[in-house]
Structure 1
Amino acid sequence: METTYDVKVDKILTYKSARKTTYTVRWVVAGKHRREPFGSFALEGFRSELIRATGKVEAFVIATGLPVSHRSKSASMSWYTFAVEYVDARWPELGGRHP
């Protein structure tokens, strides 16, 4: 997992069509342009989280373009491990003949 501190958050891009308005947050991580579209103006929270992470001098993951703190717990777990843990947790509740 490569990280960088070279991040620049741009302003919000607004696109108005005949049917709806779309808002897009744009930012650059290590020279690679990123964008995340939103259907409502609720994206301001997402943009402020990016700005807050740059203000706290937090590293950004180059592959995803998001701060290290945005990594979810599920991203660190493989699908197989998740499936095994799920079955182990549910097995006592469900019998072998449960549909």
Structure 2
Amino acid sequence: MNTTYDVKFWEIQRRTGRKTPTFLVRWTVARQQKSKSFRTKGLADAFLSDLLQAAKLGESFDLATGLPVSMLAPEPSGPSLLEFAQSHVLRRWRTSAARTRETDAYALLTLIPALVADVPGRPEDEDLRAALRLARCSLRDGGQR
């Protein structure tokens, strides 16, 4: 991870050219501009305050995201939910009866979208189900697809 201590902050800007006004927090990390918009001034103030406190405490800022190291998401420590579900089905596939395979697959088609966190960049429920259906089809065909 590339980090730097070269950080500068700008004042919060109010953007009014839209239906609802937004507030833009702007800062630079190693001379690269970063920004994040918020719906309320309070949220923008709180975010800018967090950035300022991190800089005041001497934290380094990540070059890619522009966030202090303490605000970065932790690295995943194990398999994702989708990887776990696929490995679970693969382990049971050859020893299960056909109806059990079908039941497991449909249970996962329902369960996985409900358990995956609703975060930015998350695939839509139908996309998740399509990925699971594809995995199910490739298992049914003996991995030929």
User: TM-score band, normalised by the shorter chain?
Assistant: 0.7 to 0.9
- Which residue does 2:5 correspond to in 1? 5
Q: Secondary structure at the match of 2:51?
A: helix
- Runs of 4+, deviation exceeding 6 Å: none
> Structure 1 residues 56, 16: closer, same or farther in 2, change over 3 A?
same
Question: Which structure would you say has the larger Rg?
Answer: 2
Q: Distance in 2 between matches of 1:18 and 1:31?
A: 29
Query: What is the number of residues matched between the two proteins?
Result: 91
* 1:57-91 Cα distance to aligned partner (Å, 9 max, x none): 00000011000011112xx239x92133x439x88
> Structure 1 residues 18, 38: closer, same or farther in 2, change over 3 A?
closer
Q: Secondary structure at the match of 2:79?
A: helix
**Partner letter of residue 23 of structure 1?**
F
Instruction: Map residues 1-99 of structure 1 onto 2, 5 A cutoff.
Output: 1-17=1-17, 19-41=19-41, 42-73=43-74, 76-77=75-76, 81-82=79-80, 83-84=82-83, 86-87=84-85, 96=101, 97-98=103-104, 99=106
Q: Distance in 2 between matches of 1:39 and 1:55?
A: 26
Q: CA deviation at 1:18?
A: 6.2
- % identical equivalent positions: 32
Q: Distance in 1 between matches of 2:68 and 2:76?
A: 18
- Larger RCO (CA under 8 A, 6+ residues apart): 1
Q: Distance in 2 between matches of 1:21 and 1:27?
A: 20
Q: CA deviation at 1:19?
A: 2.6
Where does the alignment leave 5 or more consecutive residues of structure 2 unmatched? Answer: 90-99, 107-145
Identify the structure with the greater strand proportion: 1
TM-score by length of 1: 0.77
